[in-house]
Amino acid sequence: MSFLEMSLKMKLADQIKGFLDPDEGRRLYEMACLAAALGPCLEIGSYCGKSALYLGQGCKDKGTILFSIDHHRGSEEQQPGEEYFDPSLFDVRSFHVDTFGHFRRTLQMADLEHNVVPIVAASAIVARCWATPLGLVFIDGGHAYETVKTDYECWARHILPGGYLLIHDIFKDPSQGGQAPYQIYQTALTSGLFDALPMTKTLGVLQRSH
């Protein structure tokens, strides 16, 4: 992607709801480009498509696919009454949070509908029958400890040797944010399966060693 194309992509990402720093977005793009040589990429936590813009563009540029998993009902912290509830994402007909329409619109605007495969289900359900080895897994779903742990246990084993495990919202200092992603980042490191690469802000980047 040229500098101009990247600038346009970042401008578009700016209009999409979500919690992703532009530097983190750029790193996602770079990692997807690297991982594509090994296999397809997969993210958990599509939300409105901000991260899929970057990962999906990397996959598109390198001729592979991004699978993007989300039940689109919002994570624990996005339910009515919770800290990250957004009333504009609440669907009055189903009486649930519903981010799928926003996600599809993002893919359409970014011309990524042929390179991103939305999977609308809980990640643990998708994992039950998953058999495709992956070049990259990005964990950015619910932030409760059990949720992050389940996502790690379901998906880390599908990463090919040399492939990448990315985890968002790593806060080493508890006063800055929830600790579950950081705890799972540590779990991955102590498993002996992964080496730490430099982080970008709160984006943890690990490489599967064998």
Binding mask 14-33 for Mg ion (x = CB under 5 A): -----x--------------
Report, in Å, the least distance between residue 154 CB and Mg ion.
Answer: 18
Task: Please name which of 199, 143, 163 lies closest in space to residue 23, comparing C-alpha atoms.
Answer: 199
Report, in Å, the least distance between residue 2 CB and Mg ion.
Answer: 27
Of 114, 143, 158, 210, the active-site residue reads 143
Cα gap 84→45, rounded to integer Å: 14
Contacting residues for 183 by C-beta, under 8 A, at least 6 apart: 145, 148
- Of the residues 24, 43, 98, 140, which one makes contact with Mg ion according to CB under 5 A: 140
Q: Which two tokens stand for residue 1?
A: 């992607």
User: Any catalytic annotation for residue 143?
Assistant: yes
Cα gap 3→186, rounded to integer Å: 35
Strand partners, 41: 66, 136
169 binds Mg ion (CB under 5 A): yes
Give backbone dihedrals phi and psi of 199, rounded to 5 degrees, phi first. -85, 160
Instruction: Identify which of residues 118 and 181 has a Cβ nearer to Mg ion in the complex.
Output: 181
Q: How many residues bind Mg ion (CB under 5 A)?
A: 4
Span near Mg ion by CB under 5 A; candidates 11-19, 66-74, 107-115, 125-133: 11-19
Report the residue closest to Mg ion, judged by CB: 168
How would you classify the pairing of strands 66-69 and 116-119?
parallel
Instruction: Identify which of residues 114 and 172 has a Cβ nearer to Mg ion in the complex.
Output: 172
Report, in Å, the least distance between residue 3 CB and Mg ion.
Answer: 26
Cα gap 139→183, rounded to integer Å: 13
Q: Give the residue numbers annotated as catalytic, written as ranges.
A: 143
Binding residues vs Mg ion (CB under 5 A): 19, 140, 168-169
